[in-house]
Amino acid sequence: MTPLQAIPEGIRCLADYEPHAREKLAPAAWDYFMAAAGDGLSARANRAAWDALQLWPRVLRPLAGLSTEIELLGRRWPTPLLAAPMALQQLAHSDAELALGLAAAVQGAGLVLSMQSSLPMEVVARAVVSESGRGPLWYQLYLLESRQATLERVRRAEAAGFEALVLTVDASVRAPHPAVQAVPADPGPAPASLPDLLARAPTWDDVAWLQGETKLPLLLKGVLNPLDARDAARLGLAGLVVSNHGGRTLDGLPPTAVALPRIADAVGDALPLLVDGGIHRGTDVLKALALGARAVLVGRPLLHALATAGAAGAAHALRLLRDELTIALAQCGLRSPAEAGRELLGHAPAAGIL
């Protein structure tokens, strides 16, 4: 790990890190991290949909004992915040996923490590798993063309101490971005070869096979359609991440703030829901909780903080988000994330999104 870096003056929210990151990152790396499919409609809609929701607070309610703790997969965790799986973080900072993982642990947030991590999963897990007060430690993967190759990754994740698997099911097959060639990846399938490895589109039979091959809880990431959510519930999966891949795979997809309540209605309490896409503020986190999410994944804003100031920047960003959530809970008359419901929300009159 490199020495801790100073936080730039004037950082008051996660969005303040973005211009600093743009200055720090190589143009190709910036383009890679900020890439969006098509005209970028899906990526912009994610942000706009959270903005279109208004909070309708309750007043004069008891707030003693307010906590950001949640229950997820049978355990209590300090916050409903997780760092989303993001590939090749060495493009952002030399300490890469190790810095983000430790930053998350220090702030009581979870880490979902990408299969396309710059560092071996064992290195990251070894540093994070023993941290007291940390959040969940999960491993994101794709179903590879070879089941044996997939199983090798699963066995490594199990041995390293990861507590759940997050299977991404919405990734299109694309040529690697030029910036991908700039850094090495975790030994195994290199980013340059992933399009070939992902050529065989997975099916529900493959998901059922994977579920039968591991004792780790299995969540799906990339579900938007309530019909797919019902299928996942029938299969007995451990959870779903409502996601449109940050708008990176296909344009014209619904924003996750629109898909989330529809999926929540479809599955009820059958399995926990998480959500990502466009979340920049603690108020966004509260809105997601009110729509039915148990927790949220945060991606690009944490990469901006990582690029700007390494582990210190990522930890600071997560602290800002946690503090904003605490204030939002209190201001809305809530003592815990579990108390958030749809009665808390209204729609901006002229937004035309929901």
252 annotated as belonging to a binding site for a ligand: no
295-298 vs 273-275, strand pairing mode = parallel
140 annotated as belonging to a binding site for a ligand: yes
245 annotated as belonging to a binding site for a ligand: yes
**Can you say whether residue 292 is alpha, beta or left, with left for phi > 0 and alpha for psi between -120 and 50 degrees?**
left
Answer yes or no: 245 catalytic. Answer: yes
34 annotated as belonging to a binding site for a ligand: no
147 annotated as belonging to a binding site for a ligand: no
Catalytic residue among 20, 93, 177, 245: 245
Exposure string over 302-340, b if 16+ CB within 10 A, otherwise e: bbbbbbbbbbbbbbbbbebbbebbeebbeebebebbebb
SS3 123: helix
DSSP annotation string for 37-90: STTSHHHHHHHHHHHTEEE----S---TT----EEETTEEES-SEEEPP-S-GG
347 annotated as belonging to a binding site for a ligand: no
331 annotated as belonging to a binding site for a ligand: no
Identify the CA nearest to 110 among candidates 64, 67, 62, 78.
78
Distance CA(111)–CA(95), nearest Å, equals 15
Q: Are 271 and 280 in contact (CB under 8 A)?
A: no
Q: Are 308 and 20 in contact (CB under 8 A)?
A: yes
139 annotated as belonging to a binding site for a ligand: no
87 annotated as belonging to a binding site for a ligand: yes
85 annotated as belonging to a binding site for a ligand: yes
Q: Are 299 and 92 in contact (CB under 8 A)?
A: no
Q: Are 301 and 280 in contact (CB under 8 A)?
A: yes
218-223 vs 239-242, strand pairing mode = parallel
221 annotated as belonging to a binding site for a ligand: yes
Residues in the chain: 354
215 annotated as belonging to a binding site for a ligand: no
Which residues fall in the annotated binding site for glyoxylate?
32, 142, 245, 248
Which residues fall in the annotated binding site?
32, 85-87, 114, 140, 142, 168, 221, 243, 245, 248, 299-300
Instruction: Please give the positions annotated as active site.
Output: 245
